[in-house]
Amino acid sequence: MKSKILITREVFQEVLDYLQPYFEISANQEDAPFDAPTLARRLADRDGVMTALTDRVDSALLDHCPKLKAVCNIAVGYNNIAVAACTAHGVMATNTPGVLDNSTADFTWALILATARRLTEAEAYLRNGEWKGWHLKQLLGVDVYRATLGIFGMGRIGQAVARRAEGFEMTVLYNSRTPLSDVIEQHCGAAYATKNEILEKADIITLNLPYSAETHHFIGAKELAKMKPTAILINVARGGVIDDQALVDALSSGLILGAGLDVFENEPRFHSAFLKLKNVVLAPHIASSTRATRLAMAMTAARNLAAALTTGNPPNLLNPEVKG
């Protein structure tokens, strides 16, 4: 008898085709997010699940899922999964590292350039019929070429962002929990700096660090006050890494020049004041959203699930202690 699995959000047909020989599949191809009671009900008789960031997996949910053996997140981040609770319930948890680094780094640069050159503001200006012709001081932005880039979080994505800075001949400073080796620093063209040094020196700051209790409001009013008035802030990490109210205040007052945001606190809800600001570029959590990358993410999660329920050894296990 095949194991039973649930896929909580719409996936590509290739993923369903891969999983079909292994499992009895219930797939939410209608793509309507499940609320907590619905998810608990749908998981009650399932052996495994492929989850999205919209699904909260915690002790309260797991208490209703006695057969569940594996939770496989279609994301590299997993702040939606209480890993310790999974371990306590004997449930393997996995993520999808390594498959979205380059697409996310590309999108980080899309936000850097769009924010520095006021691209969305310029497009709205044109679309609204306000453009009456060229003039010298029209929509002045800031240069990226030979600017100083500060990166918080120097994992795979942060390193990919840094490597792309070489073409702009930038000075790259980074801060992370563990400094890189000299070899990797040289490969990335980056130098370690303290948090305060980056805040004070960088023209462009990107956030590429995971969300956790330690990084909650990593950038708040105190940090924003230390940034240059000509600086821009980019977040492709997770909502909650920035205090959104503090950022709204900083952008409204001109404390910093601009921001580019792909993630928000409490998304898909977000601070409505962002919509009134011209000096912020907004995107709906799409940094990894190319077909190739999203397919690779979903297939990685599917392979994790297949391995978890057949061999008990998924390649991207977050809680190896569950097997001990």
Provide the annotated active-site residues: 238, 267, 285
The structure tokens listed for 313 are 């050894």
120 vs 156: CA distance, rounded Å? 28
Q: Please measure the distance between the N-terminal and C-terminal CA atoms of the chain and give it in whole angstroms.
A: 27
Please give the torsion angle defined by the CA atoms of residues 108, 111, 114 and 116, in that order, rounded to the nearest 10 degrees: -80
Pairing mode of beta strands 3-7, 23-27: parallel
Nearest to residue 53, comparing CAs of 34, 69, 26? 34
Beta carbons of 9 and 52 less than 8 angstroms apart: yes
Could you tell me which residues are beta bridge partners of residue 92? 70
88 vs 91: CA distance, rounded Å? 8
Could you tell me which residues are beta bridge partners of residue 4? 24
The structure tokens listed for 107 are 């999108």
